[in-house]
Amino acid sequence: MAVLRPGGHGRKAEAALADLAAWEVDSSPGIDRETLVNNAADAVWSLFVQRQICGLHNNRDVVLRYGIPNEVLARLGVVRR
């Protein structure tokens, strides 16, 4: 069985999602949770776009594999000012 290793976009998404998962109110002073959610959404969006370019149109497996929370999925593609 082949071991799947994420490329650059996958590693960025993993890191952003890990930062979000590690965030706690008491132990993360000065770190805004909304910023972490936005960073994760941007990284996941980039991963989805890369997959789309490669012809992989179904992202359900990625959502499950990376455990992408609904609050991140809800912000995909949102342009913030």
Question: Which residues are CB-neighbours of 54 under 8 A, at least 6 positions away?
Answer: none
- The pLDDT score that the predictor gives to residue 80 is 78
The token duo for 12 is: 């960025």
Q: Given CA atoms 3, 5, 16, 26 in this order, what sign does their dihedral have?
A: positive
In tens, the pLDDT along 15-69 reads: 999 999 998 877 767 788 999 999 999 999 999 999 999 898 899 999 999 999 9
pTM of the model: 0.84
- The pLDDT score that the predictor gives to residue 28 is 65
Cβ-contact 43, 19 below 8 angstroms: no
